[in-house]
């Protein structure tokens, strides 16, 4: 069972001491609101400088920088799609953003990685469908890559927290 290597947490992803945290970035990589803003604020200017050198990232792709002042060693900047009703390839693009992030995890030999709920904030992707995609990709990757020890889903809003706990069979008492 892969789910024993998947954890669900609530709170702020910038506080986690893991090999990499994933950022829900945008195409410019120059920072924005939501988790992106929080990561750049907590990580300091080195992350932005590294992003500027990279120059940008396509939707559905991911790039990696060091973590600057963060407790995490690396930041994987993944660009999920903006929700435009569902007929613009949004599901495939979100799947791709997770898959490309995991490509970097494998390439850099990272063992513990934490994801935010990519695209479900400002980008408006429906939360349940986004969680199903994130979990399915993660289970597939974990089943073929024994080097990854733990994948954490960090849920900042209570609705995502409930959805992830439910889908992963980790309900809290009283739910
Ligand atoms: P997007 O543009 O991809 O939708 P957002 O940053 O707006 O990105 O939202 C992605 C998710 O990150 C949302 O579920 C939001 O609640 C969450 N989020 C915002 N701040 C943080 C944080 N500090 N740690 C973890 N998750 C966060």
Residue with tokens 């990279």: 54
Residue having the nearest C-alpha atom to atom 1 of ligand 1: 119
CA angle, 88 then 124 then 49, to 5°: 95
The rounded Å distance from CA 156 to ligand 1 centre is 7
Read off the pLDDT of each residue in 13-26 and give the average, rounded to a whole number: 98
Ligand 1 atom closest to the Cα of residue 157 is 16
- Look up the ipTM and state it: 0.97
What lines the ligand 1 site, CB under 6 Å?
12-14, 24, 33-36, 38, 80, 116-123, 154, 156-157, 160
Residue extents of the structural domains in the chain: 2-168
Nearest to 142 by CA among 111, 96, 168, 100: 111
* Best CA proximity match to 78, nearest among 119, 106, 132: 119
Q: Model pTM greater than 0.95?
A: yes
142: its two tokens: 């974990």
Residue whose CA is closest, atom 20 of ligand 1? 35
Mutate to test the pocket of ligand 1, among 25, 34, 126 (most ligand atoms within 8 A of CB): 34
Q: What pLDDT score was predicted for residue 170?
A: 83
Structure tokens at 106: 């494998």
pLDDT by residue (tens digit) across 76-134? Answer: 999 999 999 999 999 999 999 999 999 999 999 999 999 999 999 999 999 999 999 99
pLDDT per residue as tens digits for the range 138-159: 999 999 999 999 999 999 999 9
Q: Closest Cα to atom 23, ligand 1: which residue?
A: 12
Topology given in CATH for the domain delimited by 2-168: 3.40.220
Q: Do residues 76 and 21 touch, judged by C-beta distance below 8 A? A: yes
For residue 175, what pLDDT band results from cuts at 50, 70 and 90? Answer: low
């Amino acid at each position: 069972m892969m789910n024993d290597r998947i954890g669900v947490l609530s709170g702020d992803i910038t506080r986690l001491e893991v090999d990499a945290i994933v950022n829900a970035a945008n195409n410019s990589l120059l920072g924005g609101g939501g988790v992106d803003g929080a990561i750049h604020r907590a990580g300091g200017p080195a992350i932005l400088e590294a992003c500027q050198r990279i120059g940008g990232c396509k939707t559905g792709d991911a790039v990696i920088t060091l973590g600057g002042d963060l407790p995490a060693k690396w930041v994987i900047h993944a660009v999920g799609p903006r929700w435009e009703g569902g007929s613009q390839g949004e599901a495939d693009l979100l799947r791709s953003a997770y898959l490309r992030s995991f490509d970097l995890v494998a390439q850099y030999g990272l063992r513990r990685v934490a994801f935010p709920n990519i695209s479900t904030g400002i980008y408006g992707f429906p939360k349940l469908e986004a969680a199903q995609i994130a979990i399915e990709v993660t289970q597939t990757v974990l089943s073929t890559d024994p080097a990854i020890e733990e994948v954490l889903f960090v849920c900042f809003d209570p609705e995502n927290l409930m959805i992830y706990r439910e889908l992963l069979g980790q309900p809290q008492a009283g739910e």
